[in-house]
Amino acid sequence: VEQALEQLKGIDKEILLLAHTAALLSWDQETYMPVGALEERSEQISLLQGLIHRRITDPRCADMFSALEANPDNPAGAARFSEIERAFVREAFRRYSRGTRIPESLVVEMARTASMAQGVWVQARKASDFSMFKPHLEKIIGLLKQIAECLGYTDSPYDPLLDEYEPWMTTREVEDVFCRLKQPLVELVQKIVDSDRKIDESVITARFPEQTQLRFNLLVLKAMGFEFDRGRLDVSAHPFTTTLGVNDIRLTTRYNEKFFPTSLFGTIHECGHGLYELGFGPRIKGGLLGNAASLGIHESQSRLWENMVGRSLRFWKGFFPLLSETFPGVLKGVTPQTFYEAINAVKPSLIRVEADEVTYNLHIILRFELEKRLIAGELAAADLPAAWKEESKKLLGIEPAADADGVLQDVHWSMGAFGYFPTYTLGNLYAAQFYAAMRRQQPGVEAEIEKGNLKPVRSWLADNIHVHGAVYPAGELCRRVTGEKLNPGFFLEYLEKKFGEIYGF
Amino acid sequence: VEQALEQLKGIDKEILLLAHTAALLSWDQETYMPVGALEERSEQISLLQGLIHRRITDPRCADMFSALEANPDNPAGAARFSEIERAFVREAFRRYSRGTRIPESLVVEMARTASMAQGVWVQARKASDFSMFKPHLEKIIGLLKQIAECLGYTDSPYDPLLDEYEPWMTTREVEDVFCRLKQPLVELVQKIVDSDRKIDESVITARFPEQTQLRFNLLVLKAMGFEFDRGRLDVSAHPFTTTLGVNDIRLTTRYNEKFFPTSLFGTIHECGHGLYELGFGPRIKGGLLGNAASLGIHESQSRLWENMVGRSLRFWKGFFPLLSETFPGVLKGVTPQTFYEAINAVKPSLIRVEADEVTYNLHIILRFELEKRLIAGELAAADLPAAWKEESKKLLGIEPAADADGVLQDVHWSMGAFGYFPTYTLGNLYAAQFYAAMRRQQPGVEAEIEKGNLKPVRSWLADNIHVHGAVYPAGELCRRVTGEKLNPGFFLEYLEKKFGEIYGF
């Protein structure tokens, strides 16, 4: 039995090395690779993914899991192992089960379909014509239904898709949480829209030179505790964080000289992800448990830093002097308060990635409800644009005139990534709940932020969340850290207080 | 039989994708990787190398080669295949034979020994103490002798080592060529030392700002025909060229603001390598034949561009105006002629990588003779420093006082790379012979260089050398391109003419 565990760890180690190598191929593709290399790069990535898949589904694993007494009813295996070993077996068994239940032919067809659909999506979005994309979306939905059947579910075919990104969470749980969030959010947005307080955003659209933005980004990353001997910041068209090694976490950002928030808050966001990946504890580093508990938890780290810390008045009380010093001409006459208001203006808008903290989650609820209905067969792809407009009107009070500003705006569905969207809002909710716990457990932390000292934030997150990696499923982690299960009340309270002050109600 | 060929091509394709991926891991390590990532990066590279080795030595290949009628006496297989197919079988069989003849335990021990020896070499060089490195060198030599026995040879145990870098060439052939080179070189150096012409080098040690050097490098790369949609130029401590994909050739350089030649001629040199890799013909691209014929031929491309083109008077007649424009302050009062002389000063010196075109090859002859004796058991590692000094005195007229400036200066032996050094000088010889053929076959080419037009150089090299990749062994390629086998006379004639003019004899 000990031997089975060692063998399983050996396979896991090789998977990790291959996965980090595949991540380098992708990172390079997004940052430095010359354009002509694209075709072979796709082949290189496919080959690596194939090698990884072969190891995940290694037939010898069946015997190992049976020796370890792991099965669908008891994925963590024999009770005599330590907590960490049982968590490892649980995650390895989950990965093996998902990998072996889907026949390879279906995996290949999904990959091919998604690859083609992504190309078509780019064209369709450019032409703002959903009808071009529709047959591809239909094919993707059909394949996802097959995949859901292969993986199995008791309640909803959306469950096994969600489980890919938010392991061990059910559709029902997301519905409960989103249901408690929706109406209060709609009402909060209405209050803001009705407010007669007008925010002056001109300060953030002044010209901030790219090289100087980079310098300021690096200062903030340093203050956040990003370790430059274990990571880097580069430029890419779409910002992301990726792990190329236990000690090699790469962030990217993009620069917009005429809109300051893009790069700075993008960088803080990615660094939030990066600190999580840098912080896995020594006992779990370099293996399957040296991973996020879920995408929702991952996103909680980026959102907590970006919004709850980075977009707070106290952060800017601490960092505004440094900002003015770095951009001496641009910020003449601007106060921390007016800067703070400018970066927090709320306004219902059509595009998710440009949305503010309040309306953002309504964009997510819209997508979650539509994709659930698509997978359940309650909504046909042909009726999607109309349903999108109707929901948008209901939730945000506005509706897109063009498909490009509505149903075609996100890449996710073209990649077959159904079940991904809810993790963004789960991230916001976890973030608020974690932040509240941090403030309770470490009352001086906000005073330190106001002094420009972010170290206590990082240590608290590292000690309470990062160190555990994937040892605890997200729900259990949340209970251990905050004393209760996921509760959207913390996020609503945070929003009402912050935006009530800004908009004067 | 056709099926065996297809299977072999399938394996080769996978090897290529894995090799390019491994090359990315190394490229990133030398350019952008954070220092903390080193340990895992080594594991990633080892894993990839293991996967490649497993495919090279795939036991199914034995049947394929036997179906293809390939064997040690007839490595190219059945005569009814096309020239390119036979060349493919020949190279695949060579790779398979070398891969299978050395037992895996020996491969692993060599890798481990070399890895440790490299670390020790760095320390020993820093301390300038050969005795620290000696036991490691002894172990490496012992393992290389075993490897030579496994690979087999008829004449000299140095043969199969040389064959790793210069396939199908024998030690005897190298000896013949070097023998014809040595005495005339020693005499030429003496004539230069005795000359009363003194060259003013002050112009190249003025301050050339790094960013401006980069700009000039890019202009020269463009003029050489480097394709930036299929490649890049980055910075690394030790310049190199590497292939990450059929359409992804990466060059690196380093900058020295107080010594202009380092970066420019390094960049031209690497671009010479890069153009070769960019130029493999469509029928051989993306496989085993889309490779250099040998390291000597590869080096001929870099040396031809660096020295015969880049360090020529006619090149600077063409490019000096651009240079003066790019560095307006620095070059006031300097003429193409004085600049040309400054970058071509000859002086016997101790360090190979800093040596000029003339003395460089004496450094190589010294190493070749010593490493041959080490492998043959005619020289003990313990006696190496004394032998080095003696040879150095004989060939260059000077000898190192410290090990760091002598026997410890190069990394190659610590890596187990015996048989590599001669390819540098073979490169110079092939370069001169190719250059002479180009001038004969395309008489206007030098007038174009003088106008700053390098396109004819690239096209001639592409059409006559690059396009063939590894289809012809180096010797055969040389005969096809120049009409005769490797002949050091061309190089000697080139040196005598060039340096006779500069030094006035």
Of the candidates B332, B213, B225, the residue with the CA atom closest to the CA atom of residue B265: B213
For A467-499, the pLDDT digits (tens) are 999 999 999 999 999 999 999 999 999 999 999
Helix/strand/coil for A93:
helix
Alpha-carbon distance B249 to nearest alpha carbon in chain A (angstroms): 9
**pLDDT value, residue A333:** 87
Distance CA A145, CA A377 (A): 9
For B461: left if phi > 0, alpha if psi spans -120 to 50, otherwise beta; the answer is alpha
B435 pLDDT above the threshold of 90: yes
Residue from B14, B52, B247 to probe the interface with A (highest A Cβ count within 10 Å): B247
A221 pLDDT above the threshold of 90: yes
Q: Give Cβ neighbours of residue B276 (< 8 Å, ≥ 6 apart).
A: B292, B297, B298, B301, B461, B465, B466
The alpha carbon of residue B24 and the mean position of all alpha carbons in its chain are separated, in whole angstroms, by 20
- Within A121-177, strands assigned E span none
Q: Which residues of B206-243 are buried (b: 16+ CB within 10 A; e: fewer)?
A: bebeeeebbebbeebbebbbbbeebbbbeebeebbbbb
The alpha carbon of residue A445 and the mean position of all alpha carbons in its chain are separated, in whole angstroms, by 25
Distances (CA, A) of B286 to A98, A279, B318: 35, 41, 36
**pLDDT value, residue B329:** 86
**pLDDT value, residue B333:** 87
**pLDDT value, residue B135:** 98
Largest CA distance in chain A: 70
Average pLDDT over residues A29-45: 95
Contact across the interface for B51 and A48, Cβ inside 8 Å: no
Say whether residue B443 is in contact with chain A using an 8 A CB cutoff: no
Residues A358 and A188: beta-carbon distance below 8 Å: yes
Distance CA A372, CA A379 (A): 9
B2 pLDDT above the threshold of 90: no
**pLDDT value, residue B300:** 98
Residues B486 and B170: beta-carbon distance below 8 Å: no
Distances (CA, A) of A150 to A104, A107, A147, A464: 12, 11, 5, 36
Distance CA B375, CA B367 (A): 12
Say whether residue B245 is in contact with chain A using an 8 A CB cutoff: yes
Instruction: Count Cβ atoms below 10 Å from residue A35 Cβ, excluding itself.
Output: 10
**pLDDT value, residue B19:** 98
Alpha-carbon distance A193 to nearest alpha carbon in chain B (angstroms): 47
Average pLDDT over residues A196-207: 91
**pLDDT value, residue B332:** 87
Lowest mean pLDDT, pick from A170-179, A415-424, B326-335, B405-414: B326-335
* Residues of B with Cβ-Cβ distance to A245 under 8 angstroms: 37, 40-41, 44
For A333-356, the pLDDT digits (tens) are 899 999 999 999 999 999 999 999
Residues B56 and B99: beta-carbon distance below 8 Å: yes
**pLDDT value, residue A207:** 93
Helices (DSSP H) in A377-503: which residue ranges?
384-396, 422-441, 445-450, 455-464, 474-482, 489-503
For A127-182, the pLDDT digits (tens) are 999 999 999 999 999 999 999 999 999 999 999 999 999 999 999 999 999 999 99
For B18-29, the pLDDT digits (tens) are 999 999 999 999
Helix/strand/coil for A25:
helix
Instruction: Name the pairing type of β-strands A241-245 and A248-253.
Output: antiparallel
Contact across the interface for A32 and B231, Cβ inside 8 Å: no
Residues of B acting as catalytic residues: 270
For B473-490, the pLDDT digits (tens) are 999 999 999 999 999 999
- Nearest-by-Cβ selection for B247 from A17, A40, A227: A40
* Residues of B with Cβ-Cβ distance to A234 under 8 angstroms: 32
**pLDDT value, residue A344:** 97
For B138-162, the pLDDT digits (tens) are 999 999 999 999 999 999 999 999 9
**pLDDT value, residue B316:** 97
**pLDDT value, residue B433:** 98
A329 pLDDT above the threshold of 90: no
For B18-58, the pLDDT digits (tens) are 999 999 999 999 999 999 999 999 999 999 999 999 999 99
B371 pLDDT above the threshold of 90: yes
Q: What is the DSSP letter of B421?
A: T
Residues A503 and A346: beta-carbon distance below 8 Å: yes
**pLDDT value, residue A79:** 87
Say whether residue B30 is in contact with chain A using an 8 A CB cutoff: no
For B188-232, the pLDDT digits (tens) are 999 999 999 999 999 998 999 999 999 999 999 999 999 999 999
Say whether residue A44 is in contact with chain B using an 8 A CB cutoff: yes
- Reading the block at residue B417, the tokens are 């790379």
B79 pLDDT above the threshold of 90: no
For A264-318, the pLDDT digits (tens) are 999 999 999 999 999 999 999 999 999 999 999 999 999 999 999 999 999 999 9
Phi, psi of A234 (to 5 degrees): -125, -175
**pLDDT value, residue B1:** 82
- Nearest-by-Cβ selection for A34 from B24, B28, B229: B229
Distance CA B333, CA B329 (A): 10
Residues B502 and B344: beta-carbon distance below 8 Å: yes
Mean pLDDT of chain B: 96
Strand order in the sheet with A231-235: A231-235, A248-253, A241-245
